[in-house]
Amino acid sequence: MVALVPAEKYGDERGALLNFIEAQRAAVVRASFGLTEEQAASRPSASELSLSGLIKHVAEAELNWLRMAQRQPNELRRDESNWHESFQLVGDETVASTVAFMADVAKQTEDFVRSVPSLDEEFPLPDKPWFPKDGRVSVRWMLLHLIQETGRHAGHADIIRESLDGKGSFELIALESELERELEREPESKAQA
């Protein structure tokens, strides 16, 4: 079973980039498929990373880049005092609520990307020590960066999941596909009953 990114219309660069980001987001989320909240929050290696924390971090990082591109303040304020909370679920957060948050951010990203006149449109980077002074990047660069970073975290998620129960991405894709087919058949079997 292969995880192929769906084809877009010829020449649809925006669609292609958005599809590649979505494929990487899905890989991060898929790594938590079938796990309990406790399993998703566990850290089975020397790393501080957990699956639920990775899902949250990916969503928050994407939101941060989106707000920079939109030139709007990020409603999630992170600084040294709460940076660690971007990698762990807190309060009443669950895997499901964090996945829903990620889906909302993804929708906002898609809406924004489809609304800009050109992917060449630039926005300024904040005045932070890790960014070049007076740095600017394009919306295209942002999308490529999100693909790169989300892909890195998808790899982290794969390793964490394999450390938990040995399940790799291809097995999880197959399990997810099987569940989707069962859900599609469910209305048919109810109608026949």
Question: SS3 string of 19-45?
Answer: HHHHHHHHHHHHCCCCCCHHHHHCCCC
> Position of tokens 């069962």?
182
- Bridge partners (DSSP) of residue 136 are 124
User: pLDDT truncated to tens, each residue of the chain (193 aa)?
Assistant: 456 677 667 778 999 999 999 999 999 999 999 999 999 999 998 889 999 999 999 999 999 999 999 999 999 888 888 888 889 999 999 999 999 999 999 999 999 999 999 999 999 998 888 899 999 999 999 999 999 999 999 999 999 999 999 998 888 988 888 888 888 887 766 666 6
**Beta-sheet pairing, 122-124 with 136-138:** antiparallel
**pTM of the entire structure?**
0.89
Q: How far apart (Å, rounded) are the C-alpha atoms in residues 173 and 179?
A: 10
Q: Which of 142, 154, 174 is nearest to 27 (CA)?
A: 154
Count of beta carbons in the 10 Å neighbourhood of residue 52 = 24
Q: How far apart (Å, rounded) are the C-alpha atoms in residues 102 and 20?
A: 15
